[in-house]
Structure formats: C-alpha cells, structure tokens
Amino acid sequence: MKIAVLDWYTVSVNGDVPISKLEELGEVKVIPLTKPGETAANIGDADIVLCNKVLITKEVMDACPNIKYIGLFATGYNNVDTAYAAEKGIPVCNAGQYSTNAVAQQTFAYILDRFSRIRDYDSAVRNGEWERSPAFSYFPIPTAELAGKTLSIVGFGSIGRRVAEIGSAFGMNIVVSTRTKPEDCPYEVTDLYTAAGKADVLTFHCPLTDKTAGMVNSELLSRMKPTAMLINTSRGGVVNEADLAEALSSGKIAAAYLDVLVNEPMSPDTPLKGVRNCFITPHTAWAALETRQRLADIVCDNIRAWQKGSPRNKVN
C-alpha cells in the first residue's frame, strides 16, 4: 500500500523519530510540510493518508479517489471532514492519550515557575544582586507553597486526571469542572464559574467544541481572583485572546501561561503578544521525545488494526 505522510515535520524535524516503522507497512512518501493548495497533489494515488494539521476536506477526498484510510498524528481531528469520510467509507483514526504525562508535566512546569520564581531568581543572580545582598539569603521576589492552594481543572479526561493526581500529591485542593460528572471522582466537582472563582490556578484540558470555544472570556475572567493564574494547554480557541489580554493588562488576574493560540504559528498581531505576565510557549507541551515516539507507535498500530479489519481509535 502507498502511504502519504503530509506533515512529518510536526512529528520529527531532526530524525529523532525514525520513519522506518511506517516503511514496514507500505511504500511511504514523506512530505515535511504541506502548504494549502498542495494537499491533493501530495496525496496523489496513496491508499493511506497520515497527517497532523493538514486539512482533509471533501474536495481533497474527491480529488484523491484512492484514499482508503486517514490517520492522524494527533488526538484532535477537526481538520478532517469526518462525516464525508464516513460517507465514502474511509475510516478516520486518531491517536489518543499519547501525551498525557508530557502535558501534565508542562502544566506543573508553569505552576512551579509561577510559585517558585526560578527564572526570576536566576536572572537576579546573573545580574549580581545576590553578590550585593547583606544577608546570606536573598528573597525580595515573593514565592509560595502549592500545598493548600486550589487547583481548578476544566476537563477531566486522561490529562485532567493526571494533573489532578499531581496537584493532590503537592497537597493542593482539587476542583473539577467537566461536562458530565465523572464516576468515582475523589475531588469536588462543580460548574465552570464556581471553579474559576475558587481557583488559585485555573487550567484547561478540554477539547475545542462549539460549547468550549471562547469560554475564557471577560465574564469568566471577572470571576477569578486577582492573584490567580490561568493555564491553557488544550486548544487556542478556548480563549478569547482580546479579553485575556485586557484582564492581564488591567490586573484582573495575575498571570497566564499558554501553550496554544488561536492562530499557529503565532501571528505577529495576536492580542497577547508582549502582554504583561503572559508567558507563551510554542505548542510544545505534547512534544517530548518519548511522547512523539509513542505517537508514531500508536499511528502504526492503528494502521495494522485497520489492515486486519478491526480499526482502532476510529472517530467517524
């Protein structure tokens, strides 16, 4: 079978994830990145299409009648017209739960950065401030313990649960807001606004849907403590960026740590660029080496399952 990989650079840039496992499954054509308008040509007569963010539309599927399977190097699948794929009998299979540990880890990297102020104190030392200190310990920048602080988690899938476990280990009070009340949940479960109001840390681990789009808006932000921090490692569209920029600039909340934006790569005119106490990483939470290796393994396993007649992780 012919396999077209449309954006391999979103999985591996320097060869740290080998393509050899895919080559065991068919004749592989690797395209580092596919520009808009090139999708159909890059797919050609491939039977299997693999991608991360490339749009696979009705028009693309009609232009490439040989497509039999679409696999995603991602959990999200809003870049594929899954309904039309189903009409054409094309299974669409995603890769779930590959990044749980990595995203939870980065969530706490943000939290610890805020509460322990490692970067700020490193800068102070590099600037010679400790050398000029009259006392052995130099601590003009306030730090705080996580124990006893409230961690409010929006979304309680595998990542949200892992974040809750880690927060609990730090002695944090865990509050959960999710669409449906989870079974056997040992934590307080409440509505979004109540969770936001209680939070010292409000972190989002939910999918982007019609209901979650723009849920971080002026109304929600007005319910938060002025000392609270907000984290988004889910999808950029969950946040109304103009409203968040205003809240940070006016001191309505203390800080925001974001790994995702509405437009990616980051647009030069994003409302959050250069905003006070807004810290942005370039969609890296999921990208640990072990995570990307696991992702490639899941994608390969999905293909094998489909070839045997029992598709796994099918979303349509």
Residue 212: the pLDDT is: 95
Backbone φ and ψ of 149, nearest 5°: -80, 155
> Which pLDDT belongs to residue 199?
98
Active-site position among 235, 241, 292, 294: 235
**205 tagged catalytic:** no
Catalytic option among 117, 188, 246, 283: 283
- Contact call for residues 214 and 220 (beta carbons, < 8 A): no
Instruction: Supply 4's token pair.
Output: 């077209």
User: Does residue 235 have an active-site annotation?
Assistant: yes
Give the C-alpha separation, 193 to 177, whole Å: 9
Q: For position 96, what pLDDT does the model report?
A: 84
For residue 162, indicate whether it is catalytic: no
Sorted by sequence, the CB contacts under 8 Å of residue 98 that are 6+ apart come out as 75, 286, 291, 294, 295, 298
Q: What residue ranges of the chain have pLDDT lower than 70?
A: none
Question: In the chain, what are the domain boundaries?
Answer: 2-98+289-307, 100-280
Fold: same for 2-98+289-307 and 100-280: yes
Q: Name the CATH topology of 2-98+289-307.
A: Rossmann fold (3.40.50)
CATH code for the part of the protein at 100-280 = 3.40.50.720
d(CA 40, CA 57): 10
Contact 66, 47 (CB under 8 A): yes
Task: Give residue 69's pLDDT.
Answer: 98
User: Choosing from 27, 59, 87, 264, which is the catalytic residue?
Assistant: 264
The 3-class secondary structure across 111-179, one letter per residue, is HHHHHHCHHHHHHHHHCCCCCCCCCCCCCCCCCCCCCCCEEEEECCCHHHHHHHHHHHHCCCEEEEECC
212-258 confidence digits (pLDDT tens): 999 999 999 999 999 999 999 999 999 999 999 999 999 999 999 99
